[in-house]
Amino acid sequence: AGIRKAAAVGGGVIGAGWVARLLLNGIDVSIYDPDPEAERKVSEVMKNSRRAYKTMVPDGLPKEGKLTFAKSIQEAVDGADFIQESVPERLELKHKVLAEIDKHAATDAIVGSSTSGILPSDMQTAMKHPERLVVGHPYNPVYLLPLVEIVGGKLTSPDAVEKARELYASIGMKPVVIRKEIEAFVGDRLLEAVWRESLWLIKDDITTVEELDDIMRYSFGIRWAQMGMFQVYRVAGGEAGMRHFIAQFGPCLSWPWTKLMDVPELTEELVDKIANQSDEQAHGLSIRELERIRDDNLVAIMEALSRQNK
């Protein structure tokens, strides 16, 4: 069973991405965002997402859902069987907004939160029907990247997790249910490790942000995209597979190089350095232009991979 009518609460970078994915899958969406600029921002994301979907579905898209801007959370969630919350990452705001959604939404509607790291158990305390809250953590751009990490809290029912899995899959996503509740879930923990290492490499002038990005995208970035990490190293181990790989590289893996370095504090000086190098790297391209380049690349990679995985 799919989504009949969806509500989006919060329409920033992530909320607008959800709106685009839902509309382009033919689902009507009602959105609430108090920012007077929200309507313009959502329409720009819609422009980019339509353009990206057109290349993926050259024979024509399904009829787009209808978008309504609501004046309150109450109005937005009225009649919705799926609600996705994407407000700024502050616990007290999440509590306030989720309590309001909880008060007005149908009791059997699924409520997903886009939070990047807050535990669902910490968010559902303000709800009368906490059993239908799940974290549904997406990746930007939500309208293209398939992964959604589903995390249930202490009070979430197994039924809600299962239903959320079906609903997210019905809009073309790859849901992965995280087995145990943990801060930052799984994907962002891996990204944080890479960030930590990158910070000191840049601070100590070992590399610039542009060189670091090249090192990533011309090598393991492509490898990860097509097979992930473990399967790639299984192959790298030769005919004896993973056991041989670990026998060979285990000593380096259990002695992380970072133990030898100080992980730097994110000082103003370091932030300036990263941001200035990033400005240079962009060669004057605007964020919207970079988004279009990103989307074209993602569509091309995903199309190539879907041919392989058939």
Q: How far is the CB of 63 from ligand NAD (least distance, A)?
A: 27
Told to check if 89 binds ligand NAD by CB under 6 A, we report yes
Told to check if 116 binds ligand NAD by CB under 6 A, we report yes
Cβ atoms of residues 70 and 76 within 8 Å: yes
Told to check if 123 binds ligand NAD by CB under 6 A, we report no
Q: How far is the CB of 97 from ligand NAD (least distance, A)?
A: 5
Told to check if 84 binds ligand NAD by CB under 6 A, we report no
Return d(Cα 164, Cα 133) in angstroms, integer: 9
How many other CB atoms are found less than 10 A from the CB of residue 309?
Answer: 7
- What secondary structure does DSSP assign to 39-75, as a single string? HHHHHHHHHHHHHHHHHH-TT-PPPPPPEEE-SSHHH
Told to check if 298 binds ligand NAD by CB under 6 A, we report no
When the beta carbons of 137 and 203 are compared against ligand NAD, the nearer one is 137
Told to check if 49 binds ligand NAD by CB under 6 A, we report no
Q: How far is the CB of 39 from ligand NAD (least distance, A)?
A: 11
Return d(Cα 310, Cα 299) in angstroms, integer: 16
Told to check if 30 binds ligand NAD by CB under 6 A, we report no
Q: How far is the CB of 54 from ligand NAD (least distance, A)?
A: 24
Return d(Cα 281, Cα 93) in angstroms, integer: 35
Cβ atoms of residues 141 and 291 within 8 Å: yes
When the beta carbons of 115 and 124 are compared against ligand NAD, the nearer one is 115
Return d(Cα 256, Cα 268) in angstroms, integer: 27
Q: How far is the CB of 249 from ligand NAD (least distance, A)?
A: 32
Residue ranges that bind ligand NAD, judged by CB under 6 A = 9-15, 32-35, 38, 86-89, 97, 114-116, 137-138, 140
